[in-house]
Amino acid sequence: MRLLGLEINRSKRLAPADDRRGWRRVVYEAFAGAWQQNVEIKTEECFAYHAVFACMTLIASDIAKLRVKLVKQSDQGIWSETTNGAYSPVLRKPNGYQTRIQFFEGWILSKLARGNTYVLKGRDGRGVVTSLHVLDPNRVKPLVSDRGEVFYELNADNLAGIDGPVVVPAREIIHDRWNCLFHPLVGLSPIYANGLAATQGLKAQHNSAILFANQSRPGGILSAPGRIGSETADQLKADWQANYGGANTGKIAVLGDGLKYEAMTLSPKDALIVDQMRWTAEIVCSTFHVPAYKVGVGQLPANTNVQSLNVEYYSQCLQGLIEAAELCLDEGLGIGEQFKLGTEFDVDNLLRMDSATQVDVVQKAKGVLTLDEQRRKLDMGPVPGGNTIYLQQQDHSLAAIAARDELLIAGTNAPPAVPEEPANDNPADAVAASLALAARVRRRIRMKGASNA
């Protein structure tokens, strides 16, 4: 067995992760005994159902179109976009044969279709991740050693540079998975839950196509007044089918010997094919957590606010997938909150408001955002003097209001001040008042001395 390009002998036992249903099962039983009754649910065929295809491609394209930012945490705990020579290049161009959008679309489609996404890391001589490759989930198998260590067995993949079976440790694989109902290393696709509805919808479409190819006529009964043998009946049936069935439906038939043709009709209840198709499509949408109106099934909600509808779609369908991908990227690249460096999908384009609401929100944020930051929301460049926050003159800072309150409190608790005597502006009067005061002081001193004697 080769491990990272080296031939080694296994000194530890590696066993496939047991999901308690077998590792790969292409055919699922919708109910006990379904396989014996030829009721099969094949994953690949379910992809052909319009609701499954629409939900998967909608989710994948909506996430893939979001730009991935490298963000850095400041000392104040604020995350802002940054660049780094070790991580920014691989986020802009994950590999040599895919664009960023194609890479993340493949990532999400693999997770939706198989419940698991396996991404192989490519490193340079420094050990820095320089390329990322989404692998075919059918060619990857998780292995668990007897000591609980996780490895992955990879089969040949020319695009990823794997020329044969190889076992790699978990640190070389980014494994994004969800719906791990049976094993923590084995994800489960929503098709596990909606496969029967998708198969039913496909069969309804197939039968409907056959019916409409026969001009929407389900068939009929050819009867004779007397008894006829089985050979004669088979011959009449074959002749009628050949001459008046399929493309020949509608031709004029000439009957003899009392033969009579009675066309069969569908009851109004049996003819509600559209309602049945809508029901199966709604089941598929519910398992992918996609609002039905997003894929053309059901009515658009009465609320016509674009942003509120997108927020609902984001919170119930996309947010979990986006957060999981961000965390897997952080761990795969060796960054995260502990390093104050991480990845983040830019959801502004996804939650974009209508033009009138967007301008109104930007206007109301003038006391929080600078003018340049407001213009950036509208894809407009900076202007001179736009790097500061503008407020009206009567607005005061919280610090100024707090200082004013402290002065008011101090003034209320202070004792009343003693009023000062008014100043005398006449110099002559001031001199006379001083002499009179001195005379009174001398007189009091003499009187005090006399009393003491």
Q: What mean pLDDT is reported for the chain? A: 80
Please state, in angstroms and rounded to a whole number, the distance separating the CA atoms of residues 125 and 373. 40
Question: 356, 358, 386, 359: which is closest to 373 by C-alpha?
Answer: 386
Sign of CA dihedral 370, 374, 376, 380: negative
Kindly indicate the confidence band of residue 186, based on its pLDDT and cuts at 50, 70 and 90: very high
Residue 121's contacts (CB-CB under 8 Å, 6 or more residues apart) are 129, 131, 132, 172, 173, 174, 332
pLDDT on residue 5: 52
User: Is the model more confident about 435 or about 19?
Assistant: 435
pLDDT on residue 309: 85
Please state, in angstroms and rounded to a whole number, the distance separating the CA atoms of residues 356 and 351. 14
Query: In the chain, pLDDT over 90 holds for what percent of residues?
Result: 40
Identity at 12, one-letter amino acid code: K
pLDDT on residue 207: 75
User: Is the pLDDT assigned to residue 66 strictly greater than 90?
Assistant: yes
Kindly indicate the confidence band of residue 305, based on its pLDDT and cuts at 50, 70 and 90: confident
Sign of CA dihedral 176, 178, 181, 187: negative
User: Is the model more confident about 279 or about 35?
Assistant: 279
Across 8-165, the runs of DSSP E, i.e. the strands, are 14-16, 27-28, 41-42, 68-73, 79-81, 116-123, 129-135, 140-145, 150-154
* Alpha carbon distances (Å) from 227 to 224, 234, 239, 260: 7, 13, 19, 14
Please state, in angstroms and rounded to a whole number, the distance separating the CA atoms of residues 285 and 233. 48
Q: Can you give the residue ranges of every domain in the chain?
A: 1-214+269-352, 219-264
Kindly indicate the confidence band of residue 191, based on its pLDDT and cuts at 50, 70 and 90: very high
Kindly indicate the confidence band of residue 150, based on its pLDDT and cuts at 50, 70 and 90: very high
Question: 193, 194, 190, 256: which is closest to 225 by C-alpha?
Answer: 256
Phi and psi based region of residue 342 (left: phi greater than 0; alpha: psi -120 to 50; beta: remaining): beta
Residues 395-432 have pLDDT tens digits of 766 777 778 778 777 767 766 666 666 555 566 666 67
